[in-house]
Structure 1
């Protein structure tokens, strides 16, 4: 079978990325709360080095979401620093060796306010989707609570200013937006309405575990069709949208 080169990582014009770190072979990357505390320490420590900004995060048992803006170095270098530091500590603690994360982290560019807020909401709602908690405010390992108080890690002003220059109004609007129901537990579902292209793109990328939707074009037919079948089950997405966002013809999508 023909081997395809890795897709070049798309560079964000805004410098902002939605980064996803997953455990290799879906392995658990946090065995206990001390492990999560250590990863948070890494985020704090290398923020001083790389001068990046964190707008949102969520630590789950086998993956991590970050909404991050590049500082004085490229996102790949920043994530390498954080990953190497945490994995070295994790391996020493548990007497293991070898990689912990998938060899290439996922990243998608975030270049509009609309998409930024949608991604931030998606990150904060992750624990709801997996059934970890019933309220976002009950989950300790995300940035959600930081938006309602002081945080020395998360830059909350950037998002809050999108809602209002008045802090009290901004908090109320932020809370309402973050709590809008957009997906069902365990499945990438955005409600019974037609998805915008931004929502559909995020849904495709998350369902297919891809950096960009057009990567489907380079896949072997059987695997591609299997993923297309899953994508077609997303509520609110149309065949025309899938074709437009993936570059795959509607007839191929229908037959999959």
Structure 2
């Protein structure tokens, strides 16, 4: 079956997520993360996209960016291809590093832009890696309150205030606000946004003691999927985020 066409954002802005195959690590240490950011920055200079937020975790990474002349598909294919080859060579491994193609969500309103930016920068807190977003080294949080490097911070800071000192103060306050899960309502069902679905899956796997989807037992899979569906996740979201095939998800 052919892949569904990627949705095109009317603003050119997307929330992008990449994940390791079978939820395995894509960054083993700081050298890996530094190399990825070097490749990312070089590609940014070549393709002229705008980066509003990023966060590198152990087995996945999030980005909020805007494409200009070059499409996000070309941009991400180049970044992931170069990094994947370098990573495999360095760690003496073969095969795919990333799970399927990258995931993307259109960001077409200011409200959703702010929600996604906050979600990305608070990801280390939600995953219990640090207590405060400002304590995490591998995100663009510090670029907003100190000096920007590869992140185009002016776009969001100017939303908050034209006075940069005030804007940075408001930024810190905004990041600490607790957003409720984003839920889209339709006439027949409740569907959670993908960024919320990812957090729910991560939390449920942790509660069930599941370290990797590749090692999940039949009993764990059934319990996990039933729990996720009860919380409003769709079959598409479960398959897309976990990598489980259709035959293992449908019908449970």
1:158 paired to 2:155: yes
Which ranges of structure 1 fall in alignment gaps of 5 or more residues? 183-189, 210-222, 234-238, 247-255
Structure 2 SS opposite 1:178: helix
Q: CA RMSD in A?
A: 2.8
Out of 48, 52, 66, which is 2:63 matched to? 66
Q: Which runs of 4+ in 1 moved over 4 A?
A: 202-205, 225-229
Q: How many residues align?
A: 213
- What is the correspondence of 1:9-24 to structure 2 with a 5 Å cutoff? 9-24=6-21
Cα separation, 1, equivalents of 2:183 and 2:116: 13
Once the two structures are superposed, what CA deviation does each residue of 1:191-215 show, in whole Å capped at 9, x if it has no partner?
7xxx564994245553688xxxxxx
CA distance in 2, matches of 1:95, 1:196: 43
Partner of residue 44, structure 1 = 41
Q: Are 2:164 and 1:167 equivalent residues in the alignment? A: yes
Partner of 2:198: 206
Structure 1 residues 151, 25: closer, same or farther in 2, change over 3 A? Answer: same
Alignment of 1:88-237 (within 5 A): 88-182=85-179, 190=180, 197=184, 200-203=192-195, 205-206=197-198, 227=225, 229-233=227-231
Residue in 1 aligned with 2:32? 35
Q: Which runs of 5+ in 2 are unaligned?
A: 186-190, 202-220, 238-251
Per the normalisation by structure 2, the TM-score is 0.76
Q: 1:54 aligns with which of 51, 56, 64?
A: 51
Q: CA offsets per residue over residues 209-240 of structure 1, 9 Å max, x none?
A: 8xxxxxxxxxxxxx9x975742543xxxxx7x
Superposed CA deviations along residues 109-143 of structure 1, whole A, max 9, x for unmatched, are: 00111100100000011101111111111100000
Q: What does residue 26 of structure 1 align with?
A: 23
Query: Hey, what's the Cα distance between the residues in 1 that align with 2:77 and 2:128?
Result: 30
